[in-house]
Amino acid sequence: MTETASGPLSGALGLPAPRISEGGQTRIIAMCNQKGGVGKTTTTINLAGALAEYGRRVLVCDCDPQGNSTTAFKVPMLDDEKGPTQATVVIDMSDPHPLVAKTKVENIDVLPASMDMAFLPSRLRETGAALQFYARMLGHFQGEYDDILLDMRPALDTDTDSQTAAATGAIIMVDVDEWAMKAVKMQVAQHKKIMTNLGRPADDLDVIGMVIGRVMKPMGDFDAAVYKQLRNHPRIPLLGEIPVRSADLKEARNKGLPVVFYRPKTDTAGFFRTIAVNAKLVTAA
Ligand SMILES: Nc1ncnc2c1ncn2[C@@H]1O[C@H](COP(=O)(O)OP(=O)(O)OP(=O)(O)O)[C@@H](O)[C@H]1O
Ligand SMILES: [Mg+2]
């Protein structure tokens, strides 16, 4: 299905809308890796598309002051000189609903980013209870969405800790790179530390799996060895991989659409559907 002028797009495949999360519980998934440029935003917006196609109601929370997932949906970033922002509602503990923006896809909303989020780490640190703040803010959406995807910035800091503390699960994005395994290790260690600080068992945060982004084949011997290590990680299951597909991904983004809505029949769209199914966020049709 391609974009139409007639209004928001809904489930392209006419698929059933399986609700895995019983009891109306909203699932909050941290799309994370402190390593930059590994495909967190690309996977967030396109996984949101795959989930919406299956009929799930999705909120993309853009946690990165770069605002890439906000602008990818053609939603304006917020400006603290003009009104409340994600950063101000987190700190003020006020209702985030007025900030939520609709996208061209019926089932996807966005909580936009703003540049003042760059100050969130220090503002959260000053509260002395940083881990509570995102959970409180996102709690306002409990039961309204099936899934909230947190498009996190590449950092291990007070803001990403607070976002992780709010999450029920995590998907770790990686690329095939020398530092990939180290980055995964650091990410998992951080998850454990946050759970310990919250007094919760380590497995309370479900590390759903890993997605390898920007895969380019054929690979040299060194990359092939890293790729093999990632694919065979002893504890973190592989949910899928996304080969380099610049045309499909960039053209869809340029239209403000996830690829499953812009080019539903491409293999690129299929990669994101596979991730949604392997992550058990939906059941295969
Ligand atoms: N599978 C892919 N094929 C082609 N280009 C890709 C692919 N995945 C990501 N890219 C491109 O690589 C760049 C980095 O991707 P992306 O912004 O998703 O990473 P990120 O992890 O969110 O980065 P950051 O850490 O800065 O938030 C972007 O220009 C994006 O368009
Ligand atoms: Mg990003």
pLDDT, position 17? 43
pLDDT in tens, 130-187: 999 999 999 999 999 999 999 999 999 999 999 999 999 999 999 999 999 999 999 9
Q: Which amino acid is at 143?
A: G
Nearest ligand 1 atom to alpha carbon 242 = 1
Nearest to 278 by CA among 212, 216, 229, 215: 212
Question: Residue 274 domain-assigned?
Answer: yes
Q: How far is the CA of 36 from the centre of ligand 2 (A)?
A: 7
Q: Phi-psi bin for 170: left (phi > 0), alpha (psi -120 to 50), beta? A: beta
Cβ–Cβ under 8 Å, residues 261 and 105: yes
Asked whether residue 5 carries a pLDDT value surpassing 90, the answer given is no
Question: Residue 183 domain-assigned?
Answer: yes
Q: Taking residues 45-70, what's their average pLDDT?
A: 97
Question: Residue 285 domain-assigned?
Answer: no
Cβ of residue 49 lying under 6 Å from some atom of ligand 1: no
Nearest ligand 1 atom to alpha carbon 151 = 22
pLDDT, position 11? 52
Question: Residue 226 domain-assigned?
Answer: yes
Nearest to 258 by CA among 266, 269, 243: 269
CA–CA dist 113, 94 (Å, integer): 16
Q: Which two tokens stand for residue 285?
A: 């049709």
- Which protein residue's CA is at the shortest distance from atom 14 of ligand 1? 37
Task: With cut-offs at 50, 70 and 90, classify the pLDDT of residue 4.
Answer: very low
Q: How far is the CA of 28 from the centre of ligand 1 (A)?
A: 22
Please, which residues bridge with residue 270 across strands?
none
pLDDT in tens, 216-238: 999 999 999 999 999 999 999 99
- Phi/psi for 99 (5° steps) reads -90, -15
Which of 42, 117, 156 is the best mutation target for the ligand 1 pocket, counting ligand atoms within 8 Å of the beta carbon and taking the most?
42
Asked whether residue 128 carries a pLDDT value surpassing 60, the answer given is yes
Asked whether residue 61 carries a pLDDT value surpassing 80, the answer given is yes
Cβ–Cβ under 8 Å, residues 112 and 101: yes
Number of domains in the chain: 1
Residues 6+ apart with CB under 8 A from 182: none
CATH classification at residue 129: 3.40.50.300
Cβ of residue 42 lying under 6 Å from some atom of ligand 1: yes
Q: How far is the CA of 101 from the centre of ligand 1 (A)?
A: 23
Nearest ligand 1 atom to alpha carbon 214 = 1
Cβ–Cβ under 8 Å, residues 274 and 47: no
Q: How far is the CA of 23 from the centre of ligand 1 (A)?
A: 35
Question: Residue 241 domain-assigned?
Answer: yes
Question: Residue 202 domain-assigned?
Answer: yes
Provide the whole-model pTM: 0.94
pLDDT, position 152? 98
Which of 35, 41, 174 is the best mutation target for the ligand 1 pocket, counting ligand atoms within 8 Å of the beta carbon and taking the most?
41
Cβ–Cβ under 8 Å, residues 214 and 242: yes
Cβ of residue 214 lying under 6 Å from some atom of ligand 1: yes
State which residues form the domain around 271. 22-278
Question: Residue 12 domain-assigned?
Answer: no
Question: Residue 11 domain-assigned?
Answer: no
Asked whether residue 125 carries a pLDDT value surpassing 90, the answer given is yes
Asked whether residue 30 carries a pLDDT value surpassing 70, the answer given is yes
